[in-house]
Amino acid sequence: MTNPILAAAGSGTSLVGIDWAMIAIYFGLLLGVAWWVVRKNKDTTTDYFLAGRNLSWWIVGASIFASNIGSEHIVGLAGSGAKDGVALAHYELHAWCLLVLAWVFVPFYARSLVFTMPEFLERRFCTKSRYVLSIVSLITFVVSKIAVGIFAGGVVFGTLLPELHLNLGFCHLDSFWIGSILVIVLTGLYTIIGGMRAVAYNDAVQVVILIIGSATLTLYGLDKLGGWSELRRICGTEMFNLWKPLIPAGMEGTWAPVKEPTRIAWYFNTNFPWLGMAICAPVIGLWYWCTDQYIVQRALGAPNETIARRGSIFAAFLKLFPVYLFIIPGLICFALAKSGKVPALQEIFYGPNADPNAAQGAFPLLVQHLLPPGLRGLVVAGLLSALMGSLAGVFNACSTLFTVDIYEKLRPKATQHELVRMGRIATGVMVVIAMAWIPVIKGAHGLYNYLQAIQGYLAPPIFVVFFFGVFWKRLNAQGCFWAMVVGFVVGVFRMVVDTPGTLDPKFVYETGSFLWIVNNINFQYFSILITIISAIVMVGVSYATAAPDYTKIQGLTYGTATDADRAKTSASWHAVDLVASIVVLVFIIGAYLYFRS
């Protein structure tokens, strides 16, 4: 299968000596940070999995942001910008979800001193719930975050270094394979050796490089185009409208519950109905930012509530950047191609052999055809840093979940040294699994969009049990367990129904049949359905069984928090935290007001 992003790239300019020098400097920084971290490491689970609970607020915030922004995020958002304008800025403006983490969940996580989200669920409900969430989280990380991250890394290398090949005699590796293997091995190596501390501190370095590189591309593109006003003129009001693209053509004024049978799309589709965006998107956002081990583990590495909250607020501020550093470059690529100011881009988008999927390669296309030597290397380093930060976060989260939630339960007498060793082994296994995924990811049709939809099917029950569990003390262990089981079964059922069409684009269910209806309901509406089902099951089962022992969940819900708990939380924040949160909200509201027409 020919990847559309690779096809869109054309023959552009390859990296030259100074570009490689910039990339070498980047890897030199990572090596230096990793070596410094290794020298500070202690052979304890707290140090290896949570950096000794001693991360500063800016490291917490930078690491949260770096874990979220992978290469697939950059490539996907820029592609969406080139095709649909600023429509997907909605997801980036969910920075407010991090404020919910900061002000609502951090106090509960901090006072419980847990290592993982499943562990918190066990303390609030029961051990069975912990096992269910641990296993589901591990599977989700492997089949979604690792897979999509590798795919994006291979795309970046395949686009920017198409001539890179390696013949080993028994096999031939193209640039996709070389890039994927290289990044997986390097990321896995520093994660295995340094643990959470290496991940977090390298994330801080990577965020700086990523922001500088992406900002350079945005500013350079605007200068080439003739400024912001010229960008708005060429793109028109439609592409600068956050609201109209949410309604599919011909479906204005409707809820658009069933989409045309073109399979699910996440980044490259304007089929985002308003009700889905209003309900489903926040559910997924709150699950991801407030309850996902992949993200929250950084806040757990803070020494106290104050630092964890401040780090989460800082991450919310950083989360505002993608709109301007990743989506806007997509619009710039479209405008440069449409105006003819970069002939190579015009040829790719509008020439005789124009690729209809060229928009999907907007970011690497700009890097390839717009930036001069040196700057090109800086932005490539930024892309690599995004990929490595995201993958390192997944490796570390998987390692923590397996070791703390499964291995330590099976081996309660294991020493700290044995647990750290198992953590390193688990990370190594994740690296091997990631490499085994490469041929599947490279060859499967539509895998990228399909994997992005997975979170819409698996997030709702997790969202329900955490949010309902914290705000509603009457809900019990039985309600939590069955809400997750039923919710996950419904979500997996939808994933199974979607799979044939993902593997074979010619496969279509009989029109009007039950499976056809399930397959063609907009994924956001199906996600809302799973949320409703999970909530009903949790509340119904809880009230049909005995109330929980409130003394055992003291401090884990608002209704069971003691006066001492409330006083400690009140003393943990300061005026600067409140002002910073208000500033983030002002920026979000400002973006919604600006991108309205």
Residues 6-30 pLDDT 10s = 333 334 456 778 888 888 888 888 7
Read out DSSP for 165-231?
Answer: -EE-SS-EE-HHHHHHHHHHHHHHHHHHHHHHHHHHHHHHHHHHHHHHHHHHHHHHHHHHHT-HHHH
266 in Cβ contact with 447 (< 8 Å): no
Highest mean pLDDT range out of 100-109, 153-162, 339-348, 442-451?
100-109
Sign of the four-CA dihedral 360, 362, 367, 368? positive
587 in Cβ contact with 320 (< 8 Å): yes
User: What interhelical angle do 416-443 and 375-400 show, nearest 10?
Assistant: 120
φ/ψ of residue 414, rounded to 5: -65, 140
pLDDT digits 0-9 by tens, 402-429 = 998 889 988 888 888 898 899 889 888 8
pLDDT digits 0-9 by tens, 446-472 = 554 566 677 888 899 999 999 999 999
588 in Cβ contact with 96 (< 8 Å): yes
pLDDT digits 0-9 by tens, 29-70 = 878 887 887 777 777 888 888 877 888 999 999 989 888 887
**Tokens found for residue 357:** 């999927």
Q: How many helices (H) and strands (E) does the chain have?
A: 30, 2
Question: Is 273 in a helix, a strand, or coil?
Answer: coil
| Spatial CA neighbour of 426 closest among 152, 155, 232, 142 | 142
| Spatial CA neighbour of 488 closest among 98, 20, 188, 129 | 129
pLDDT (0 to 100) of residue 12: 45
pLDDT band at 76 (very low <50, low <70, confident <90, very high): confident
pLDDT value at 517 more than 80? yes
Distance of CA 519 to the CA centre of its chain: 24
List CB contacts of 318: < 8 A, sequence separation 6 or more.
61, 62, 64, 65, 207, 211
DSSP β-bridge partners for residue 166 = 173
Kindly report the number of other CB atoms within 10 A of residue 149's CB atom. 30
DSSP β-bridge partners for residue 596 = 241
Share of the chain above pLDDT 90, in %: 30
Q: Which pTM does this prediction carry?
A: 0.85
pLDDT (0 to 100) of residue 269: 35
Radius of gyration over every alpha carbon of the chain, rounded to an integer in angstroms:
23
| Spatial CA neighbour of 75 closest among 4, 156, 6 | 156
d(CA 466, CA 468): 6
179 in Cβ contact with 161 (< 8 Å): yes
DSSP β-bridge partners for residue 258 = 521
pLDDT (0 to 100) of residue 155: 66
φ/ψ of residue 166, rounded to 5: -140, 120
DSSP β-bridge partners for residue 241 = 596
150 in Cβ contact with 157 (< 8 Å): no
At position 139, the amino acid (one-letter code) is I
Residue the block writes with tokens 């015009």: 346
**145-159, 274-288, 555-569: least confidently modelled range:** 145-159
Residue the block writes with tokens 């070791």: 403
Residue the block writes with tokens 């100074």: 18
**6-10, 275-279, 281-285, 328-332: least confidently modelled range:** 6-10
pLDDT band at 266 (very low <50, low <70, confident <90, very high): very low
pLDDT band at 239 (very low <50, low <70, confident <90, very high): confident
Q: Region 335-341: what's the mean pLDDT?
A: 88
Alpha helices (H) in 141-174, listed in sequence order:
147-160
Q: Region 468-493: what's the mean pLDDT?
A: 95
60 in Cβ contact with 298 (< 8 Å): yes
pLDDT (0 to 100) of residue 20: 83
Question: Taking the domain 4-34+49-252+283-443+563-594, which CATH number applies?
Answer: 1.20.1730.10
Q: Region 322-343: what's the mean pLDDT?
A: 88
Domain boundaries for CATH 1.20.1730.10 within the chain? 4-34+49-252+283-443+563-594
Q: What is the DSSP letter of 414?
A: -
pLDDT value at 552 more than 50? yes
pLDDT band at 101 (very low <50, low <70, confident <90, very high): very high
pLDDT band at 88 (very low <50, low <70, confident <90, very high): confident
**198-212, 251-265, 362-376, 447-461: least confidently modelled range:** 251-265
pLDDT (0 to 100) of residue 35: 82
Please state the three-class secondary structure of 385-399 as a single string: HHHHHHHHHHHHHHH
Q: Region 527-532: what's the mean pLDDT?
A: 93
247 in Cβ contact with 269 (< 8 Å): no
